[in-house]
Amino acid sequence: MTQNLWMNILLSIGFLAALGTVLSVLLILAEKKILNYGECLIDINDGKKTIPVQGGSSLLSSLSENEIFIPSACGGRGSCAYCKVQVKEGGGMIGPVETPSLSGDEIKNNIRLSCQVKVRSDIFISIPDEIFSVKHFTGKVVHKKPLTHDIIELKIALTKPENIDFTAGQYLQIETREYKGREQVSRAYSLSSVPSDTRSVELIIRKVPEGISTTWVFDHLKEGDPVNFSGPYGDFRLSDTDSPVVFIAGGSGMAPIWSMLRDMKEKGITRTAYYFFGALSQRDLFFLDELRSLEEELGWFTFIPALSHEPENSGWEGERGLITDVVRRRLPDLNGFEAYLCGSPGMIDACIKVLTESGIPEENIFYDKFA
Amino acid sequence: MEQAVLSHSFLSIFLIFVSAAFTDNILLARFLGMCSVLGVSNRVDTSLGLGAAVTFVTTVTAALNYGIYYYLLVPLNLEYLRLITFIVLIAAAVQLIEMIMERVSERLYFALGIFLPLITVNCAILGISLFMLNKPYGFLQTLAFGAGGGFGWFLAITLISGIREKIDETKLPSGLAGPGITLIIIGIMALAFVGFSGMIKI
């Protein structure tokens, strides 16, 4: 009786083990045989670069294995829609995960989500040239300096690689670490440091209530901690013309402007420039002294801070009112100007309306929208 | 093993298919496979894809499980392991089918393949494999039972999603929106399907 019981136990364990082994081996073999696409070529920008990859992975991961980093925030799940690239040939059908993220025009232009395109054959894509210079960096937090009650300046010294090459106005993607059950995410922040400083980067970050990334930066990231990020991304940059410039930004939107202004000073560019800095009240202003001394030093630069919610009797002597009204009041005629905006979508849309009314054609209005 | 009680005539196979699809509808009479119905039944085209994938998988896995049950488990006296064996076998089969589909046809993969990982753990599929053992079916009859069961689920989710698409345009009390109204629809449809019961006895 006992012997029978033991036999039974052994038999059932043996059976399940055998079944599991047979099925796993079968699946592994099948994956090797069926999903083996051999070596495929990724042709980038009409033969500018051709990279051989092992077929079967997504275009996004095949590219990042070869040090070409397409922006991506969701980790390849197809939900952030940052990783769009033009796939001219070999991309296959548009999958159901992609459809909601692509507009009719994008579908016509063969734009695809690179995380959803599988490399199954030779594939021909085109990406902006800047992406070639995007790298992955590790760095160490040098300081987290409060600028206002809800904005900090984060300075990161680069450890590997040790140098970064970027244009004023570009942005980085910081990778958060997991904390308190919140997943790891990547978020974009504009560089506020000067491009001539290649050994470290500075960012201006405003705390978003309940934001996964900013909560991590404000509450969990400490001075001395390692940080991973990639960049530089983006085509928000000063044009090469001599036209006078109007900058409009509020809060952490100052970052790219702060970088551009100091870059202009270093390079000896003397285009007439106005900077309208919109804030709610005096406690939301920062870098006032730095900007005022820049204004005194540079004949071509005018700094105009404006407060929209400052109490009447506070002793503030500068401009008051919505930033759009202040721009209209101070510079009613903007013919021949270029405009550079950085801020929330609502603020940018309102500014574009006022600026076009004052005579700037839309193609001369450049902006960086925080989404 | 009294497999051959029912004759292998075309009629019996047809009757098994019909009864599995209608009188014993896996979703509406047995209430299995409910989670994917609640999740995916808001659009007809996705329901069609998922339903077709389930039908395909129930047929294939019913056949596979039939083989492994009668030719391995029964001779080894290991019938009590059927539950875990079926689960493992279904998972592996679904994975394999997904790989083959992806390789063979992209169109087929996007129409059916993307649903396959979703239905690995669909209880309707395991349910059909387990229920088929209650009757002394032969191989062809098992195939008919698997296909019929899957088809019944396909039919049910397609009808439900059709109704839900109509309802989408109507205002509902907020407490009823989503899964709430879906469960009510399923309940009413189940009552309708009770009308089929007793029509065929196999």
Of B84, B89, B96, the CB nearest to A30: B96
Q: Edge-to-edge strand order for the sheet containing A135-146?
A: A186-190, A171-175, A226-233, A135-146, A151-160, A200-206
Q: ipTM value of the model?
A: 0.78
Shortest Cα distance, chain A CAs vs residue B102, angstroms = 8
Q: How far apart are CA A218 and CA B149, in angstroms?
A: 55
Distance from the Cα of B67 to chain A's closest Cα (Å) equals: 14
Shortest CA distance from A20: residue in chain B: B88
Cis-peptide, bond into residue A52, ω within 30° of zero: no
Question: Is pLDDT above 80 for B3?
Answer: no
Residue A112 pLDDT: 92
pLDDT at A370: 64
**Could you tell me if A174 and A186 are in contact, meaning their C-beta atoms sit under 8 angstroms apart?**
yes
What confidence score (pLDDT) does residue B1 get? Answer: 40
Residue A210 in contact with residue A218, Cβ under 8 Å?
no
Closest residue of B to A118, CA-based? B102
Question: Would an 8 Å CB–CB cutoff place A17 in contact with chain B?
Answer: no
Q: Is B117 helix (H, G, I), strand (E, B) or coil?
A: helix
Across B20-39, average pLDDT: 87
Q: Chain A partners of B92 at a C-beta cutoff of 8 Å?
A: 23, 26-27
State whether A35 and B102 contact (CB < 8 Å). yes
Give the mean model confidence (pLDDT) for residues B136-162: 93
- Largest interatomic CA distance in chain B: 59
For residue A126, list its beta bridge partners.
A86
Closest CA relative to residue B135, chosen from B121, B123, B124, B149: B149
Rounded mean pLDDT of B49-55? 89
**Domains, chain A, with CATH or none:** 39-130 (3.10.20.30), 134-233 (2.40.30.10), 245-369 (3.40.50.80)
Query: Which residues from chain B sit within 8 angstroms of residue A30, using beta carbons?
Result: 96, 99
Cα(B136)–Cα(B114) distance, integer angstroms: 34
Chain A residues close to B107, C-beta within 8 Å: 93
Q: Which of A7, A23, A37, A97 to mutate to test the interface with B (most CBs of B within 10 A)?
A: A23
Does any CB of chain B come closer than 8 Å to the CB of residue A31?
yes
Q: Who contacts A153 (Cβ-Cβ below 8 Å, separation ≥6)?
A: A143, A144, A145, A147, A192, A202, A203, A204, A205
Residue A165 one-letter amino acid: D
Residue range B183-187: average pLDDT?
A: 91
Which of B71, B74, B88 has the most A C-beta neighbours within 10 Å, making it the best mutation to test the interface with A? B88
Closest chain A residue to the Cα of B79, Cα to Cα: A12
Contact A223, A212 (CB under 8 A): no
Contact criterion met (CB < 8 Å) for B81 and A96: no
> Is a pLDDT exceeding 70 seen at residue B5?
no
Q: Sort out which chain A residues have CB atoms less than 8 A from B110's CB and list them.
A: 93, 95-96
Q: Who contacts A14 (Cβ-Cβ below 8 Å, separation ≥6)? A: none
Dump the DSSP string for A48-96. Answer: TEEEEEETTSBHHHHHHHTT-----SSSSSSSS---EEEEEES--PPPT
What is the pLDDT at residue B99?
86
- Residue B118 buriedness (CB in 10 A; 0-12 / 13-18 / 19+): middle
Give the separation between CA A238 and CA A246, rounded to whole angstroms. 11
The answer to whether A1 faces chain B, any CB pair under 8 Å, is no
Q: How far apart are CA B195 and CA B147, in angstroms?
A: 22
B102 touches chain A (CB under 8 A): yes
Q: Mean pLDDT across the stretch B1-23?
A: 73
Q: Identify the burial level of B65 via C-beta atoms within 10 angstroms of its C-beta, where 0-12 means exposed, 13-18 middle and 19 or more buried.
A: buried
Establish how many alpha carbons lie within 13 A of residue B16's alpha carbon, considering only the half-sphere containing its beta carbon.
24
Q: Is B79 exposed, middle or buried (0-12, 13-18, 19+ CB in 10 A)?
A: exposed
Q: Do A15 and B92 touch (CB under 8 A)?
A: no
Nearest to A232 by CA among A67, A61, A69: A69
Q: Which residues of B162-179 are buried (b: 16+ CB within 10 A; e: fewer)?
A: ebbeebeeeeeeeeeeee
pLDDT given at position B45: 85
Token digits of residue B149: 């069961």
CB of B104 less than 8 A from some CB of A? no
Distances (CA, A) of A236 to A94, A169, A292: 30, 5, 25
pTM (predicted TM-score)? 0.62
Q: Is the dihedral of CA A13, A16, A22, A24 positive or negative?
A: negative
Q: Report the pLDDT value the prediction gives residue B202, as an integer from 0 to 100.
A: 59
Please answer yes or no on whether B84 and A16 come within 8 Å at the CB atom. yes
Average per-residue pLDDT for chain B: 86
More confident site: B113 or B3: B113
> Residue A204 has what pLDDT?
94
If chain A, 371 residues long, is cut into consecutive pieces of 10 residues, what is the mean pLDDT of each piece? Answer: 83 92 93 85 89 89 87 76 88 83 88 90 88 88 93 93 91 88 84 94 91 89 92 88 92 92 92 93 91 92 92 87 91 91 88 92 84 53
pLDDT of residue A120: 87
Tell me which residue of A242, B58, A201 sits closest to B50, measured CA to CA.
B58
pLDDT tens digits for B53-81?
Answer: 899 999 999 999 999 999 999 998 888 99
**Partner-chain residue, chosen from B46, B76, B92, that has the shortest CB–CB distance to A11:** B76
Q: Choose from B42, B97, B105, B110 for mutation: most chain A CBs within 10 A.
A: B110
* Residues in CB range of A276: below 8 A, 6 or more apart: A246, A247, A248, A249, A304, A305, A306, A323, A326, A327, A330
Nearest Cβ partner for B106 among A11, A16, A92: A92
The predicted pLDDT at position A193 comes to 94
Contact between A339 and A360 under an 8 Å Cβ cutoff? The reply is: yes
pLDDT at A249: 92
